[in-house]
Amino acid sequence: MTFSAYQHPQRGYIANILTIPPLIYPFQYNPKQLTDSKNLQWGVKPPTPNIGDVALANLLVGASTGSAEAIGGTITSGIEFLGTMFSQADMHQFTKEGDRTLSFKFEVDGREQRPGEPARRREDGTIRGDLAIIRSFTYPKMLDVVALLTALSTNEKEPFSTFFFNSPPTMTLIMGDMIVEGFVTNLRITEQQFNQDLNPVRAEIEVTMIEKIDSLWFILDSAKRIGRTFYYTAYEDVGKMLF
């Protein structure tokens, strides 16, 4: 591909537009790597007493009645019986779903003005403005717009101070068609180079956030995930899984 045909990639964002001032930060350089992890907790499942007798009883009931419930019980108890017969290891059952955690790292350099950046962001060659926006995700937001609008629409008598400097704002990460709203749990800024006034001109930023499930973006992402699973799963390999 020639240089003239090269197209700059679409930028990612971290943002929250429901604060005053709104926090909107397009990455100067998109993150090169994003780690998306989720932890699930599985506890020990106590074995069913006399599982052999239970399996046999379910088998007899299923054979005599032909009910789907009895047949399902036969399969479940039979598998448990054979599993405990061949191994004395613990069985497990789902106990708790952990947070989805996203971690990413990006760089910012005030000595380069990227296409589309307004001049004010690079007028003095420093990144003080960039770091101010990024750090604002970890300090109490100046004004809770949602709480203020809710109070005004319901005529509730809320103390004026409750609308100001509340908990830190959520962060919405936008990367391609992935949009995740969450809470910043760790922010690490490593200032790497400075100008003659000792103001930073280059820094590396590392962000760790956990997903917010009571969010419109979480509902939409769940719907997209389920839809894509139905479409992209390898139906053609079902036979290979069974035989």
* pTM greater than 0.85: no
Instruction: Determine which of 41-55, 104-118, 151-165, 203-217 has the lowest per-residue pLDDT on average.
Output: 151-165
Average pLDDT, the chain: 84
Q: Give percent of the chain above pLDDT 70.
A: 78
Is-contact 101 68, C-beta < 8 A? no
Is-contact 99 179, C-beta < 8 A? no
Task: Tell me whether strands 13-16 and 171-175 are parallel, antiparallel or unpaired.
Answer: antiparallel
Reported as a single tens digit per residue, the pLDDT across 93-110 is 999 999 999 999 999 999
- Within 13 A of 150's CA, how many CA atoms are on the CB side? 8
Q: Which pLDDT value is given to residue 128?
A: 93
| Residue 164: its H or E element | none
Q: Which pLDDT value is given to residue 142?
A: 81
Q: Which pLDDT value is given to residue 43?
A: 95
| Residue 51: its H or E element | helix 51-65
Report how far residue 152's alpha carbon sits from residue 158's, in angstroms, rounded to the nearest whole number.
Answer: 9
Reduce the DSSP state of residue 188 to 3 states and report it.
strand
Of the candidates 187, 172, 102, 94, which has an alpha carbon nearest to the alpha carbon of residue 138? Answer: 187
Reported as a single tens digit per residue, the pLDDT across 167-208 is 899 999 999 999 999 999 999 999 999 999 999 999 999 999
Reported as a single tens digit per residue, the pLDDT across 71-91 is 666 677 777 777 787 888 888
